[in-house]
Amino acid sequence: MALVIQKYGGTSVGNLKKIREVAKRVAERADQGDQLVVVVSAMEGETDRLLEMAYELTDQPEGREIDQLLANGESISISLLTLALHSLGYKAKSLTGRQVGIITDTHHTNARIIRVDADKIRRTLEEGFICVVAGFQGMSPSDDVTTLGRGGSDTTAVALAAATGAEACEIYTDVGGVYMADPSVVPEARRLEAIAYDEMLELASLGAKVLHARSVEFAKRYGVPIFVKSTFGGGQGTMVVEKQPGMEEVTVAGVTSSKDQAKVTILGVPDRPGVAALIFEAVAEHHVVVDMIVQNVSEDGLTDISFTVSRNDAVRTQELMRKLAEEIGARDVSLDTGIVKVSIVGAGMRSAPGVAARMFRTLADEGINIMMISTSEIKISCIIEEQHADPAVRILHKAFEEDAPAIGGEADTS
């Protein structure tokens, strides 16, 4: 008898009809004799409904209250799915993040799991129940409700898999797998049969929405294999696992883009030692995460320094830099939010020369200008104008797909 963790997202439980369908899928699996823990998100639209009310009441809602508020979305879903399972004649019990023993730090709206006490879940499974668990939520040591950030239900599922020693963690989505590019942008995108944790982690961090980045981190750390599958269709799905010697190596596993980018440029910075340090110390002090940095070649002792931050931090960072610019005698500060980061990711890049050149050439041939570049061992990212985002993903997918193992056909978005 295997223990399986399944996770269904908000669109999979978007209304009562879909909840009944999910219950049937879960029931079929239970009939096979497996023990089941089913993690669910809030019904589609519910989180937004709650957030809108909060923001109507105050511009800057406190994290603790937002978490207390949003957690209700998932808590509603678990009871409804449990009742649907009861109506099919199955023993099931709903459990909140707290009841299931998910202890997090106190970083509200984006908490990290620090411990999972799996006793309750084990006991409940042993009593013959299907456990229906609220994703996205946990409890801090001070007894406050916390949430794990958007997409956090994936992390709940993987964390429970790790804590219970489950055989597998199955993440059910609309698109039914991980694709070389977002199928809503590139309809003919290839489905990947398997992808390594590191590649998936980069893709998720760089904007691919199929899995929550932290869930992949967790899976890698605890060696939990993730299977991304289709909720209602069939299909093979994608396996996210540790890179194995026998695994076919592709140069580029994925192409993705992220619009959560803003570029701050400080113009006419006196080019003397310690100025860059001053700038990024000031940014770090305000807990703003900087992604890419470019410093122009100095002219007449003056230089321009550009860096990218999350759009949420853009205005605040600009203000911060304006103050600093006065102090250090820089000319001006500009802000550009009309940009996007397009990235290619693949473990095979390490051994395949010329991948970067091919990326730049592909974009250039399409008349797309590259504003900033950053690279790591297994990814290359370029900042381009926002309007070019989707065309760039399409042409890069086309340019590199020949390197991918031909396993998928079309995207099975059924």
- Please report whether residue 292 would count as binding a copy of itself according to CB under 8 A: no
Q: What is the DSSP string of 195-244?
A: EEHHHHHHHHHTT--SS-HHHHHHHHHHT--EEEEESSS----EEEE---
Q: What is the DSSP letter of 35?
A: E
What is the nearest approach in angstroms of a copy of itself to the Cβ of residue 399?
48
134 Cβ contact partners less than 8 Å away, ≥ 6 residues apart? 39, 40, 71, 74, 75, 77, 78, 94, 95, 96, 97, 100, 156
Q: Count residues contacting a copy of itself (CB under 8 A)?
A: 35
Among 89-97, 122-130, 227-235, 406-414, the segment contacting a copy of itself (CB under 8 A): 89-97
**Residue nearer to a copy of itself on the CB measure, 93 or 263:** 93
- Please report whether residue 388 would count as binding a copy of itself according to CB under 8 A: no
**Residue nearer to a copy of itself on the CB measure, 20 or 209:** 20
Binding mask 134-153 for a copy of itself (x = CB under 8 A): ---------x----------
Subset of 91-120 contacting a copy of itself (CB under 8 A) = 93-94, 96, 99, 120
- The neighbouring-strand residues paired with 158 are none
Among 83-91, 201-209, 353-361, 394-402, the segment contacting a copy of itself (CB under 8 A): 83-91
Contacts 24+ apart (CB under 8 A), 286-290: 286/316, 286/317, 286/320, 288/313, 288/316, 288/317, 288/320, 289/313
Q: How far is CA 88 from CA 27, 92, 109, 231, in A?
A: 8, 10, 35, 19
**Residue nearer to a copy of itself on the CB measure, 132 or 213:** 132
- Please report whether residue 286 would count as binding a copy of itself according to CB under 8 A: no
Q: Contacting a copy of itself (CB under 8 A), which of 2, 32, 48, 62? A: 62
- Please report whether residue 124 would count as binding a copy of itself according to CB under 8 A: no
CB 405 within 8 A of CB 250: yes
**Which residues of the shown chain bind a copy of itself in the complex (CB under 8 A)?**
16, 19-20, 50, 53-54, 56-59, 61-62, 64-66, 68-69, 71-72, 75-76, 78-80, 82-84, 86-87, 93-94, 96, 99, 120, 143
